[in-house]
Structure 1
Amino acid sequence: MSGVEIIGLGHYAPERIVPNAEIEARFGLEAGWIKRRTGIDARRYAADDQALSDLAVRAGDMAIAQAGLSRDNIGLLLLATSTPDHLLPPTAPLVAHRLGLANAGGIDMAGACAGFIYALTLADSYVRSHRAPVLVVAANILSRRINPVERASSVLFADAAGAVLLAPSEREDSGIRGAHLTAQGAHYGLITIPAGGSRKPFSKVDDASETLMIMSDGQAVYAKAVAMMTGAAEIALRKAGIVAADVAHFIPHQANARMTGTVALQIGVKPESLRTTVAEFGNSSAATIPLTLSISAHEHVYRQGDIILMTAAGAGLTGGAVVFRW
């Protein structure tokens, strides 16, 4: 058996910054309302001429360049997204083509906010089994799925991309040491886009708002997401034989600052291990963890042997956690 290492990190956030004041004015909220409840100061929105693939390519290219790896050696691209360029075909083959990955397979993974955790887990296994590097990109353009009259989603969601490049390692203890994936379909309808799928195709849509996101019960989403993220992280740590105090870097899904703080407290990680980007970049669903992983590397160097704990939960409900040894 061999290990797996991250040899490249990448991220991209669109240039347009949307401050809280812009959203607070739209909803008639007092200044500071969003910051007090979410910890978010601003978020990024994609330009009108940008599609999901444009963001994904920028993050993926940064990860590959950082690694200095020949693009011909990459065996697989996993793209975690809920907002592909088109419903058909999948976007990953286009991203792979634009990145020059001539020998790589490519597939989209629609795991909502937990999409990166799922993709990372599968990528680690692929690297171990096939001895080939895997590029994982998580990206979303959620600004085009926000219902402008729904406050709950308008204050949170954003656009961004993050990427990690995994490769075989001679260190057997590197890579994922423990993982737990979970799903609770009983809560399927808490976060949803009602129309556009096979249940209600576009041909039967009378109101365009049915193709936008609905969060029916924000308090229920918060409570269940906290429980799912905490529970998955505890199981992953137990599988890895590692205690919370050993975690050097804790990178939860950046849903909002209150949630990340609560999950960190319940798991029992050291407060100084928490890495967060939600204040400046908001919630870009699956992209938040690799985005934070990449941005945080500039301030908090990842050293060989460091334990990184990542956990997420989102629509579906889907969730999971990964314990990664750097």
Structure 2
Amino acid sequence: MDGTRTFLGAVGTALPGEPVDNATLGKLLGVSDEWIDIFVGTETRHFGWDLATGEVLRTLTELCAEAGARAMAAAGLEPADIEFLVLATATPDTLLPTTATQVADLLGLDQLPVYQLQAGCSGAVQALDLAAALLGGRHRTGLVIGGDVTHRHLDIRRDPVELSSEELVNYLIFGDGAGAAVLSTEPLGEAVEVKAVLNRLVGLGRAPGQLVDWYGISDRDSPRRMLLEDYREIESSVPELAVEAVLDLLGLTGWAAEEVGHLLPPQLSGVMTGRIVERIALPGAREVSCVRTTGNTANALPFLQLERLLGDLAEGDRALAVSIESSKWIKTGFALEKAVLR
């Protein structure tokens, strides 16, 4: 990072509806809740759509605006204080207008640059990376938001017998949600400094591990699947990339492994997160995870983890966060340190 310091002042999150447990979901999908717990390790998740009818009850725009409003309120800021907005998602409500501009409208933001990044699990960190660059220019305070929803890709009305195991697991892993953070060049609110941001595409020559498709008016009846994932490759590669990301962040900060007190690991599923943490050589770091109760909410996950972290940080405490995107293989992460204000 350049000479401009970047501080995280506050975080806000939004999860739609009541949590859906494995017994409820398993009954709809024809699998046991015990099997879900053993295979996936996720206990509950939230959906912004009705499980019985598929009706959308909370849009991504609404969730992101709720999270953004909470972050601004926690930082003690008004809309006029926000100088830019960056939003990351893989599942926008519409292609145009962008979800970012719709969220800005709901938050009362005007006369400011608004950016939307199309990305999967790496998007929240990409948004943080862009925000840090903007803060190094003429801006002093901005809002970063990440969120995703599942209603376009999960159809509970389908006969579970028709679902392949690769499709079925998506119903068990993913959930809906949004998160937001206020960033600034001066310490405010929680006064946590962003010491480094890692954002690297590492998929040169590699087949994608995940594909999320979309249909237009001319191919909406296409039989091709909307969501594809190579779980074997993901299970093999993500832990390795997570270890690399931690080492990269330690190199960027100059920190020793034993100086890191908190680890925010990738949140693919409860089972996968457990495997990843075992591989990462930060034995003294406290794990900060949420995926077992929120499901994989993609771009919302780092904010949900941050919400659990901030209250436990004392002055001088250090944390590393890692997120891996398997679509075209992107390793991302960031390093935080609670500012010592004297």
TM-score (norm. length: structure 1): 0.89
User: d(CA) in 2 for partners of 1:253 and 1:281?
Assistant: 13
User: d(CA) in 2 for partners of 1:178 and 1:51?
Assistant: 30
Q: Is the counterpart of residue 320 in structure 1 residue 322 in structure 2?
A: no
Q: Which amino acid aligns with 1:128?
A: G
User: d(CA) in 1 for partners of 2:196 and 2:286?
Assistant: 18
- Post-superposition Cα deviations, 1:12-63, rounded to whole Å, max 9, x if no partner, equal 1001322112332344323311111222111000042321100000100000
Q: What residue is the counterpart of 2:26 in the other structure?
A: 24
User: d(CA) in 1 for partners of 2:256 and 2:168?
Assistant: 38
**Percentage of identical aligned residues:** 24
| Structure 2 CA distance for partners of 1:271 and 1:161, relative to 1, 3 Å | farther
Q: Is the counterpart of residue 205 in structure 1 residue 217 in structure 2?
A: no
Q: What residue is the counterpart of 1:157 in the other structure?
A: 174
Shift of 1:306: 2.2
Q: What residue is the counterpart of 1:285 in the other structure?
A: 298
| Structure 2 CA distance for partners of 1:304 and 1:271, relative to 1, 3 Å | closer
| Structure 2 CA distance for partners of 1:160 and 1:86, relative to 1, 3 Å | same
Runs (5+) with no aligned partner, structure 2: 50-55, 157-162
Shift of 1:259: 2.3
Q: Which amino acid aligns with 1:97?
A: D
| Structure 2 CA distance for partners of 1:243 and 1:266, relative to 1, 3 Å | farther
Shift of 1:170: 6.4
Q: Which amino acid aligns with 1:212?
A: M
Question: Which of 272, 279, 294 matches 1:259?
Answer: 272
Q: What residue is the counterpart of 1:114 in the other structure?
A: 122
| Structure 2 CA distance for partners of 1:237 and 1:98, relative to 1, 3 Å | same
Q: Is the counterpart of residue 229 in structure 1 residue 237 in structure 2?
A: no
User: d(CA) in 1 for partners of 2:192 and 2:154?
Assistant: 42
User: d(CA) in 1 for partners of 2:64 and 2:207?
Assistant: 27
Q: Is the counterpart of residue 77 in structure 1 residue 85 in structure 2?
A: yes
Please show how residues 1-326 of structure 1 align to structure 2 within 5 Å: 1-47=3-49, 48-146=56-154, 149=163, 150-169=167-186, 174-184=193-203, 186-196=205-215, 201-207=216-222, 210=224, 212-215=226-229, 217-270=230-283, 273-297=286-310, 300-314=311-325, 315-326=327-338
Shift of 1:303: 2.6
Q: Which amino acid aligns with 1:306?
A: D
| Structure 2 CA distance for partners of 1:188 and 1:164, relative to 1, 3 Å | farther
| Structure 2 CA distance for partners of 1:99 and 1:273, relative to 1, 3 Å | same
Q: Which amino acid aligns with 1:176?
A: K
Structure 2 counterpart SS, 1:136: strand
User: d(CA) in 2 for partners of 1:31 and 1:173?
Assistant: 39
Q: Number of residue pairs matched? A: 318
Shift of 1:174: 3.0
Is the contact made by 1:251 and 1:292 (CA closer than 8 Å) also made in structure 2? Answer: yes
| Structure 2 CA distance for partners of 1:98 and 1:185, relative to 1, 3 Å | farther
Q: Which amino acid aligns with 2:273?
A: T
| Structure 2 CA distance for partners of 1:115 and 1:126, relative to 1, 3 Å | same
- Post-superposition Cα deviations, 1:239-270, rounded to whole Å, max 9, x if no partner, equal 11012222222112311123222322322123
TM-score (norm. length: structure 2): 0.85
Structure 2 counterpart SS, 1:29: coil
| Structure 2 CA distance for partners of 1:76 and 1:295, relative to 1, 3 Å | same
Q: Which amino acid aligns with 2:173?
A: L
- Post-superposition Cα deviations, 1:266-311, rounded to whole Å, max 9, x if no partner, equal 22123651111111111011111111211444xx422333222111
| Worse-matched range after superposition: 185-194 or 87-96 | 185-194
| Worse-matched range after superposition: 101-110 or 76-85 | 101-110
RMSD: 2.3
| Structure 2 CA distance for partners of 1:194 and 1:80, relative to 1, 3 Å | closer
User: d(CA) in 2 for partners of 1:103 and 1:175?
Assistant: 27
Which structure has greater helix proportion?
1
Shift of 1:156: 0.1
User: d(CA) in 1 for partners of 2:24 and 2:171?
Assistant: 11
Structure 1 counterpart SS, 2:218: helix
Structure 2 counterpart SS, 1:5: strand
Shift of 1:143: 4.0
| Worse-matched range after superposition: 56-65 or 66-75 | 66-75
| Worse-matched range after superposition: 80-89 or 226-235 | 226-235
Is the contact made by 2:129 and 2:197 (CA closer than 8 Å) also made in structure 1? Answer: no
| Structure 2 CA distance for partners of 1:186 and 1:287, relative to 1, 3 Å | farther
User: d(CA) in 1 for partners of 2:318 and 2:217?
Assistant: 45
Q: Which amino acid aligns with 1:191?
A: Q
